[in-house]
Structure 1
Amino acid sequence: MDHPYYPLGVSIPNYRPNDLPLSRSLPIFGTLIGAVVLSAYLLAGSASDSRRRVRPVDRFAASWFALCGFLHIAFEGYYILHRTDISGKNTLFAQLWKEYTLSDSRYLTSDIFTVCVETITVFAWGPLSLITLLCICTNHPSRHLFQIVVCVAHLYGVALYYATNWAEQRFHSVSYSRPEFLYFWVYYVGFNAPWAVVPFFLLADSYSRIVTAFRTLHEKESQQKNE
């Protein structure tokens, strides 16, 4: 059956066109994401007490890791569960995946790299994102350890994701994305860009907090030695 995906002629068995307009499916998905992010933002604020001031960056981080947890476990988990037949499904998540894969058809061809990266994301980075969220809301001492691990994982993953696609285009002249601005620059580049930017910001915050904590500890130990 004909399909709109690149490279032209790529085999996508049992392809079934979406029957829900993007103008309807996207607001539903956006509402789900908004509910998750807003809930985490409010939870981070309500978890504060008189002894601890919740910084704006903490609320942002809580919202970010809630978003990551939802996308990794629910949305990408759906892909892993239905990766062999998603092209023929018309559930909300399947239709959103088929729309996104206009920018990267590897998701509809069971590409080994994509399946492996998504499997690790679903079973490792998704749960760790939620653990980080819990640590933020409870002010747990291990918060920055988990935050650093997840942020580095996101940077590594998005670097590989961009690099493998670029290498296929550069060395094999194979493009998995349609050439239109919407699909390449908005979907492929834009939708993934936050995972190449936000982790740097959160890593900088973790670095600052850890350095401050150890500086305070060293000063305290020096004072105790001098007494």
Structure 2
Amino acid sequence: MDHPYYPLGVSIPNYRPNDLPLSRSLPVFGALIGAVVVSAYLLAGSGSGSPRRVRSIDRFAASWFALCGFLHIAFEGYYILHRAGISGKGTLFAQLWKEYALSDSRYLTSDIFTICVETITVVRFILPPSPENSSRNASNALIQFAWGPLSLIAVLCICTNHPSRHLFQIVVCVAHLYGVALYYATNWAEQRLHGVSYSRPEFLYFWIYYVGFNAPWAIVPFCEWPAPGGEASKSDPPVIVLLADSYRRIATAFRALHEKESQQKNE
């Protein structure tokens, strides 16, 4: 059956066009995301076990990792479980994946790299290999415990002000940076070396879907933005984004520890 995906003529068995317009599917998906993000934002301000000033970066981080956990476990988990027949399904998540695949058809062709990257983001329990695609994904029989669950653990640590919060924050942020780099690089290399493009050329599909939808996982961990309204004071540090925040908090803690140890030696 004819389909709109690139490269033209690529085999997508049992393809079924979407029958749910984006004007209906996106609001539902957006409502799910909104519920997750708002819940985490509110929980971050009320779930601390000790009285403390909740920083805006803490609320942002809880919301961000809750979003990551939802997308990795629910949305990408759906893809992993149903990847072999997703092109012929009509569920909400299947239709959203088919829409996104206009920017990257590897999601509909059981591409090895795509399966591996998406699998490692999802929590998987021991399952029998898929009979339709067992040779392509031996990891079905393995336990995977990675970025989705770790994102939710980070949310819990933020909301309870747990000391290990920055450990999980750093691990998940670095994993996202590495995953996005590989995701972009493999597609770029295929196009440059073999002339194969997996994305339709329209602005919406390449720049909005492919580049724009994945860019936050490279930007949020790595960037630092100044506090609004001018220069920040010591009591009101700049609004910084995740890896920079973890670096500063850990460096401050070790600096205080070293000062305390030096004082004890001098006594």
**2: CA distance, partners of 1:138 / 1:53:** 13
C-alpha distance in 2 between matches for 1:18 and 1:31: 20
* Equivalent of 1:189 in 188, 211, 224: 211
- Name the % identity: 90
Aligned-residue offset at 1:223: 1.2
Residue 21 of structure 2 corresponds to: 21
C-alpha contact (below 8 Å) 2:170/2:243 kept by paired residues = yes
Report what 2:106 is aligned to. Answer: 106
Tell me, in whole angstroms, the C-alpha distance in 2 between the residues paired with 1:47 and 1:170: 49
Report Cα offsets for 1:61-118 as digits up to 9, x if no partner. 0000000000000000000000000000010000000000000000000000000010
Q: TM-score, normalised by structure 2?
A: 0.83
From 157, 164, 183, the counterpart of 1:161: 183
Deviation at 1:224, TM superposition (A): 1.4
Deviations, residues 190-221 of structure 1 (Å, cap 9, x unaligned): 00000010011x11100000000000111111
Q: Deviations over 1:15-63 (max 9, x none)?
A: 0001100010001000000000000000000123663111100000000
Superposed CA offset, 1:119-165 (max 9, x none): 001x4100000011100011111110111000000000000000000
What SS class does the counterpart of residue 134 from structure 1 fall into? helix
CA distance in structure 1 between the partners assigned to 2:209 and 2:202 by the alignment: 10
CA RMSD of aligned residues (A): 0.8
SS of residue in 2 equivalent to 1:13: coil
CA deviations 1:156-181 (Å, max 9, x no partner) are 00000000000000000000000000
- Alignment match, 2:252: 212
Distance (whole Å) between structure 2 residues aligned to residue 185 and residue 135 of structure 1? 35
Deviation for aligned residue 1:222: 1.1
5+ residue gaps, structure 1: none
Query: Would the alpha carbon gap of residues 215 and 93 (structure 1) be closer, same or farther in structure 2, given more than 3 Å must change?
Result: same
The verdict on how the C-alpha distance between 1:148 and 1:50 changes in structure 2, with shifts beyond 3 A counting, is closer
Report the Cα distance in structure 2 between the residues aligned to 1:53 and 1:226, rounded to whole angstroms: 34
Is the 2:105–2:199 Cα contact (8 Å) retained in structure 1?
Answer: yes
CA distance in 2, matches of 1:179, 1:103: 8
State the TM-score, normalized to the length of structure 1. Answer: 0.98
Q: Aligned partners of 1:80, 1:32: CA distance in 2, in Å?
A: 20
Report how many residues are paired: 225
Is the partner of 1:14 in helix, strand or coil? Answer: coil
Structure-2 separation of matches of 1:143 and 1:49: 14
> In the alignment, is the contact (CA less than 8 A) between 2:49 and 2:161 conserved in 1?
no
Distance of aligned partners of 1:146 and 1:50 in 2 relative to their CA distance in 1, 3 Å threshold: closer
Alignment partner, residue 237 of structure 2: none
**Which has the larger helix fraction?**
1
Give, in whole Å, the separation in 2 of the partners of 1:92 and 1:49: 38
Return structure 1 stretches of 4+ with deviation > 4 angstroms: none
1:144 and 1:48 mapped to 2: Cα distance?
16
Q: How many angstroms apart in 2 are the aligned matches of 1:108 and 1:128?
A: 27
Which has the higher relative contact order, 1 or 2, with Cα contacts under 8 A spaced 6 or more apart? Answer: 1
